[in-house]
Structure 1
Amino acid sequence: MTRVLLTGGSGFIAAHTLDLLLKHGHSVVTTVRSQEKADKIKEAYPDLGKDKLDFFIVEDIAKEDAFDKAVISNPPFEAVLHTASPFHFKITDIQKDLIDPAVTGTTGILKAIKKSAPTVKRVVVTSSFAAIINPDNGLWPEHTYSEEDFNPITQEQAMENPMSGYRASKTFAEKAAWDFVEKEKPNFTISTINPPMVFGPVVHYLNSLDNLNTSNERIRDAALGKFKDEIPYTGVHVWVDVRDVAEAHVKAMEIPEAAGKRFFVTTGYFSNREICDIIKKNFPQYKDLPSETTPGGTFPEGGMFKVNNKRSVEVLGLKFRSLEECVVDTIKSLQSVGL
């Protein structure tokens, strides 16, 4: 059993990670933004005492000292999984709403661990394919993306639009984490998890379909008939199931060989048309789905970049779920809130 601090416990990935940590017998304190969020998580685990699951409220991760008290525990923490970072495009200020919380949240927790939690040996940070991809090179069919790639985005480019701001936030935060370890030489090692589009069933508290995490919105919209006349452009054609991302976080903490490594955690390719076809095949009650002649949602004609997920398979032992299993389980989980 490891004593673990999990940040951002009510998030989409974090909720699955928490579930897995508890199943693996670890003792977890998770940070949340409010008491209400803590109460909702607690409702899902009514039989667990504070020794197994406890909470710490961190209202604003962008504050320099946000995690100073959160990292102090009795018994002391041995590992930290840092998943808290904004992923949405409903923003007014790219710097303030995206970049600052991501970068300051990451460096802030690393500083706090070094200063006040000397027993922590492993830190796992949720990064993203956004910190790997080079959008300037477009589809780049001759290239294979792997952990060797880093998004070369600049501060100036980050300010162009919310998508660039999001990609910059993940890139700058991850680079800041690696720089911290190199310069500060702390007692702990870090690993980063870099998933692309993350789909999958919702296990965190969801009160309506309007509050869904960004990636899953396209599965919801397809089922609601919004793609009936035209299937939207797929965008980044690589994906992973949230349960596999959660497993990557827990394994990166548990497996010694994962220390000091990035992990590009991806199943492979998908298209919006495939998502629609899977819904149609498994849920005949949804009538307004695209037909075979509906335009859009396919793969790019000239081919696209390749992906290398070898490290996730060989070091973490991941066995990736299929798109069909993922979409079916996602729809089932959304039916409980009215889909």
Structure 2
Amino acid sequence: MPRPLWAGAISFGLVTIPVKIVSATEDHDVHFHRVHLTDMGRVRTRKVCELDGEVVSQDEIGKGYEIAKGETVPVTDEELDQMPLPTAKAIEIAAFVDADSIDPVRISDSYYLAADGQVAAKPYTLLRKALERSSKVAVAKFAWHGRERLGLLRIREGAIVLHSMKWPDEVRSPDELAPREVEVGEDEIKQALQLAEQMTIADLSGFHDEYREALEGIIASKAEGKPLPSPAEDGKPEKGEVVDLMAALNASVKAAEESRGERGENATVHEMRPSKKTARKAPAKKTAASKKSTASKKTAAKKRSAS
């Protein structure tokens, strides 16, 4: 299990669940060092006091809040730990809401909550099953990195996940960013929906970080003294170029169909000719033999009736 980042408890009404917080994600980014280009020596950042110009060690660094120009109030970690907040050492569940009511723009970092000890197993399972059956998510408050935060609790593969969230006043309004209202044709909307349908996939497992792979390729080439990979061609239109939206949508739909292996030829419709009605055959003419046979039958019938 990854190293715990925090230890405390979930407060669920009168139920207390001891938990540890571990990160739910990993950083796979390629990190660069700052170097001196002349000799490739590492460039270090020194923490210097602006008043006496002396380099300060980590033990001599603390927190302070500037209340006025030149006047700073020091605040210690002990004072922060002793703040009169119920969320100082607990993740306090405040409410339950429908998952659809949470705007994704408010969701920030993600963490797993691990049961801390055997005593936490039963209440942890109780909360997990309650969240699973209710199909809701829990909204909680907790203290983290020197401030109180809003959190979201949900279930992922049998584990309780904590998502830190932005407060409502931390989310900017997009009103000024939306473009002016323009008219879009119904055919264009239908074509866009068709493109979205063609691009629909079942899951995201096939995605990978192509930028990181390309960056690692550049580093490997330079380390081995090989030529750098050729840059990818930019097929996007230049800024200011007018694009036929409908033509672009049609081309996009066609490309999406080809990428999914749907290259079937267009069906050809042939006009069907009307079928000729079959002429009714005229009844066959009676022959002499048939006339004689009919006359004989009539004579025999008369004799039977006379007798």
Please identify which structure carries the higher helix content. Answer: 1
Structure with the bigger percentage of strand? 2
> Whose RCO is larger (CA < 8 A, sep 6+)?
1
Please, what TM-score do these two structures have when normalized by structure 1? Answer: 0.18
